[in-house]
Structure 1
Amino acid sequence: MLRLRASEIAEAVGGRLVGDDVLVTGSVETDSRLVEAGGLFFAMPGETTDGHRFIDAALERGAALVVAEREVEQDVPHILVPSGVTALQSLAADVIRRVRAANELTVVGITGSNGKTTTKNMLQAALERHGATVSPVKSFNNEVGAPMTMLRIDEGTRYLVLEMGASYEGDIARLTALSHPDIGVVLKVGLAHAGEFGGIETTTRAKTEMVRDLAPEHVAILNRDDERVRGMAAATAARVAWFGTDPGPADDPTGLWADGVDSTLEGTVATVHRGEESWPLRMRILGEHHVMNALAALAVVDVLGLDVAQAIEDVASMPRAERGRMEVLEPGGGITVINDAYNASPDSTAAALRALAHMTRQAGRRSVAVLGEMAELGPHAVEEHDRLGRLVTRLRIERLVVVGAGAKPIHDAAELESSFGQDTTWVATADEAEALLRAELVEGDVVLLKSSNVSGLLALAERIGTR
């Protein structure tokens, strides 16, 4: 965070300063437990609690200034605003403006139904050798999380990488208006958050918002393999660069593409091409679908005029995509656990299942899938879970354990599709799944755990993977 006076912050957020014009030297936080000496605490109402209740805790940790939506009883300089979220966003936009004026700052926005966090991590690994790089912690990509990432930059920041998520149309447009990306990346359009969006066409419009609002001097990097993303080229005034497994027409070779894609339990390989040049890519990250994320990150590097070959080495050196994202755990006893339970959508779950089937078949090992609910699918929930159960059977995954009421259609469909009903089991809780797995797993088993975070399989994967 930049060092700013309380009066400067008040002007940026359109608020009224009460108390001394203190200098803020620490970070901006919405969680009082993370406040540091000299920092700024945003006291905002939340879904389960109210940040105004934690002002005392923030002061005990050294907060110099508070932004609040109502009068503050404590003796501390504070800024009164109508909306804490709006104020947070306004401050983030002001900080980006100040840093751009003081230094060369490149902002990269990444959106898509799947792969944002993995692509962000790959890009962080590739860019940080070229200059100070700020990117989101975990998956901070919404109306609060994205501004919090923006507020971590200072005069020395060279690259700011943002994830842009959305629950509703207009969300990405607002984040784009705050940050004004120089480069916008669209990975994929799928059914993630379909419950809020209402369908794939609405999702497409929402994901288009970022490239639609790019200026002509900016660059839109688009997935040539995805028909809906490919169509976004007509919606942007920016220059378009491509990535994918499709090299594109001979008269439009712009961008990177890959072939020779394969994945084993040791990692994922491909050959990356740009024009007449080619480079081998050997990642420790599992799953052929992660090649697309790597290509997106490398395309940003290429657009920036940086060394693609070096970036490939940086991506190859990553030990994992992220905690809970195709993370390999070896608990001993010849068992391999793949923890992919941080989040799930129909597309990402299907990709993980295909990876499990392919890798175990190559290695001659037994495949075990532990699947929980995919959240936020709204009216599509039963259909999409049913579809996964049938996919498990078609892929010949040898053992299926389904966890939770929301995921039960996976089990029902697999049982109907398969002549081996005993190979699929439904349990109500993660604890029941743990007991079953500990009783059944044997040497040589490869266990994939995949679900949305709400299902509790992330913690289960870590327990099973570290026994």
Structure 2
Amino acid sequence: MIALSLAEIAEVVGGQTHDIPDPSVQVTGPVVRDSREVEPGSLFVAFAGERVDGHDFAAQVVGAGAAAVLASRPVGVPAIVVDDVQSALGALARHVVRRLGATLVALTGSAGKTSTKDLIAQVLQRKAPTVFTPGSLNNEIGLPLTALSATEETRFLVLEMGARGIGHIRYLTELTPPKVGLVLNVGSAHIGEFGGREQIAVAKGELVESLPPAEDGGTAILNADDPLVRAMASRTQAKVLLFGECDEADVRAENVRLTDSGQPAFLLRTPSGASEVTMRLYGEHHVSNALAAAAVAHELGMSAEEIATALSEAGSLSRWRMEVTERPDGVTVVNDAYNANPESMRAALRALAAMGKGRRTWAVLGKMAELGDEALAEHDAVGRLAVRLNVSKLVAVGGREASWLQLGAYNEGSWGEESVHVSDAQAAVDLLRSELRPGDVVLVKASRSVGLESVAQALVETGAEGEVSAR
């Protein structure tokens, strides 16, 4: 964070100082909510959760070097006490962002947010110091903590914004007002909470509504291939830049293809020129993510050649997202178990099919959460798609939703042992350990709550003798 005195912070957040002998002491370290991340000069934010109360760690963090605690009650050590810690954290982030002078890029979408954010960050880092959301900490706590990690040297601040309802993104943009806003897609993620894709579009479009007008430098970057996203052009006064594979896109991909290993390659065309891209990531769905990142980079002054080079060298920064590991015995494990929705599940299955040409393929799939009334149809459709893509074996893991996956596969023509329903992750591991053969490709994917990453980890750790190499 940029250096601020405790007195300044108290004024910004509307708090009272307690047990602070010298209010001129500055916070020079990171703002953190985890006591294990405290460094000398930190500000520790004490949240009272259902299981753990951060206030109980106040003495510990000050002993470890924290300058003070942001708290909702006096804690017997230097503290700034406020009525609401979350609101105070947001106010502090808003104040720091205003002082930074960095260009703030915000992105949202139903699928691909984290992968695209990681691509944008890796491209922009070629141009200037860049701070970006770690993992998918994209809510009302993670977003301000990311913003507060920026320093005076930061030139680009890339923030992922998630939403579980109307008004969520609007709130986040009030905390950290973006200059460039990117909307990737409108899909089925959380459709059970929103009530329909049209409502999801309303929520995602709050990002472009927050942008400054074009004459003040605001730019909305929209997916030309998604009609609900493209229609958001009418909801903003910012300049509109389109990305996609259609002819109308300002930043587009031509001659899209997959390498023998399933990595996308294409000709990137921007208003400033064209250049070839061959990605290190797996699956054709990353083409759209790469185009989104390219559009942001183009808008911020990078050439087509610079962007193409950065995209070709970019890797996956966030765990359990198409994380590919080659075992010494030739089995390939694809850990995409961080989360799942119908769009990302279809993309992962197509990536599996591309990676597994000429090899035996396994899809170890579990529940897609928060689909509401669409849950049965969407799980059935994914099971059917696995069969249409000639996946060798579907292993559906878990309860009712998993049984719908297996039933869809069965009804599509997957009989005998081509699909199976197992009760839990351990049963899946046991099955795979007994049946995997050298050269097989295994995809593991489900919503985060299912915890299928344990299956992928078990396969990597116990697959064969020798050292495991990840890529």
TM-score, scaled relative to structure 2:
0.93
Partner of 1:239: 239
Greater shift after overlay, 179-188 or 16-25?
Answer: 16-25
CA distance 1:419–1:108, shift in 2 (3 Å): closer
- SS class of match (1:392): helix
The question of 1:133 aligning with 2:130 is answered yes
Which whole-Å CA distance do the structure 1 matches of 2:397 and 2:70 have between them?
43
8 Å Cα contact 2:340-2:445 kept in structure 1: yes
How far 1:320 moved relative to its partner? 3.1
CA distance in 2, matches of 1:368, 1:246: 33
User: How many residue pairs end up in the alignment?
Assistant: 455
User: 1:437-456 residue pairs with structure 2 within 5 A?
Assistant: 437-456=432-451
Which one-letter code corresponds to 2:136 in the other structure?
S
Tell me: CA distance 1:97–1:224, structure 2 relative to 1, closer, same or farther (3 Å).
same
For residue 32 of structure 1, what is the amino acid of its counterpart? S
- Cross-structure match for 1:219: 219
Give the letter aligned to residue 271 of structure 1: L
Tell me, yes or no, if the aligned pair for 2:278 and 2:312 is still in contact at 8 Å.
yes
Q: Any gaps of 5 or more consecutive residues in structure 1?
A: none
Please give the secondary structure, in 1, of the residue aligned with 2:205: helix
**2-structure distance, mates of 1:55, 1:380:** 46
Could you tell me how far 1:379 is from its partner in structure 2?
3.2
Counterpart amino acid of residue 445 in structure 1: D
- For the residues of structure 2 that align with 1:240 and 1:48, how far apart are their CA atoms? 45
Q: Which residue of 2 aligns with 1:152?
A: 149
What is the DSSP-based 3-state SS (H/G/I as helix, E as strand, rest coil) of the residue aligned with 1:192?
coil
Which of 395, 398, 403 matches 1:401?
395
Aligned to 2:100: 99
Alignment match, 2:376: 382
SS at structure 1 position matched to 2:324: strand
Q: Distance in 1 between matches of 2:177 and 2:376?
A: 39
Q: Secondary structure at the match of 1:416?
A: helix
Contact 1:124 1:133 in 2 (8 A): yes
Give the partner amino acid of 1:71: P
Q: What letter corresponds to residue 39 of structure 1 in structure 2?
A: S
Correspondence for 1:270 among 266, 283, 286: 266
Match of 2:312 in 1: 316
1:425 corresponds to: 420
After TM superposition, the structure 1 stretch with the greater mean CA deviation from structure 2, 434-443 or 274-283, is 274-283
1:349 corresponds to 2:345:
yes
After superposition, where does 1:49-128 map in structure 2 within 5 Å? 49-72=52-75, 74=76, 76-100=77-101, 105-128=102-125
Q: Name the structure 1 match of 2:468.
A: none
Query: Which one is further off, 163-172 or 266-275?
Result: 266-275
CA distance in 2, matches of 1:453, 1:417: 27
Q: Distance in 1 between matches of 2:49 and 2:304?
A: 43
Tell me the SS of whatever aligns to 2:174.
Answer: helix
**Counterpart in the other structure of 2:367:** 373
Is contact 1:261–1:291 with CA below 8 Å preserved after alignment? no
Contact 2:268 2:304 in 1 (8 A): no
TM-score of the superposition, structure 1-length normalised? 0.94
Task: Tell me the CA shift for residue 275 of structure 1.
Answer: 4.8
The counterpart of 1:280, out of the listed 271, 276, 282, is: 276
Change (3 A) 1:165 1:451: same
Greater mean deviation of Cα atoms: 367-376 or 205-214: 367-376
CA distance in 2, matches of 1:399, 1:307: 44
SS in 1 for 2:326: strand
Separation of aligned partners in 1, 2:281 and 2:203:
29
Residues 371-414 of structure 1: per-residue CA shift (max 9 Å, x gap)? 01112223332332122112112222110001111422111221
2:256 alignment counterpart? 260
1:263, distance to aligned residue in structure 2 (A)? 4.8
Shift in CA distance, 227/196, structure 1 to aligned 2, threshold 3 Å: same
In 2, the alpha carbon distance for the partners of 1:376 and 1:53 equals 34
Matched-pair contact (CA < 8 Å) for 2:256–2:264: no
Name the structure 2 match of 1:194.
191
Q: Which amino acid aligns with 2:196?
A: G
| Farther-moved stretch of structure 1 (33-42 vs 48-57) | 48-57
Deviations 1:403-437 (A, max 9, x none): 11142211122123325142111111111111100
1:37-88, Cα deviation, whole Å (9 max, x unpaired)? 111111112243222222233223221111111232x2x2211111111111
1:248-267 Cα deviation digits (max 9, x unpaired): 1xxxx633344323254252
Q: Deviations over 1:7-36 (max 9, x none)?
A: 111111111122321321211011111111
Contact 1:109-1:184 at 8 Å conserved across structures: yes
Task: Tell me which residue corresponds to 1:462.
Answer: 457
Q: Which residue of 1 aligns with 2:469?
A: none
The separation in 2 between residues aligned to 1:177 and 1:292, in whole angstroms, is 28
* Residue of structure 2 equivalent to 1:13: 13
Give the stretch that moved more between structures: 55-64 or 346-355. Answer: 55-64
2:16 maps to a residue whose letter is R
One-letter amino acid of the structure 1 residue matched with residue 446 of structure 2: S
Q: 2:467 maps to what in 1? A: none
Where 1:17 maps in the other structure, the secondary structure is: strand
Bigger mean CA deviation after superposition, 415-424 or 429-438: 415-424
Moved over 4 A (4+): none
Give the partner amino acid of 1:211: V
Say which SS state the counterpart of residue 222 (structure 2) adopts: strand
Distance 1:79 1:203, change over 3 A: same
2:395 aligned counterpart, secondary structure: strand
1:329 to 302, 325, 329: 325
Decide whether aligned partners of structure 1 residues 281 and 424 sit closer, same or farther in structure 2, where only a CA change above 3 A counts.
same
Instruction: Judge conservation of contact 1:9–1:91 (CA < 8 Å) in 2.
Output: yes
SS at match of 1:233: helix
Structure 2: runs of 5+ lacking an equivalent: 464-471
What amino acid maps onto 1:332 in structure 2? Answer: P
Contact 1:321 1:327 in 2 (8 A): no
> Could you tell me whether the CA contact under 8 Å between 1:264 and 1:286 is conserved in 2?
no
How far 1:214 sits from its partner (Å)?
Answer: 0.9
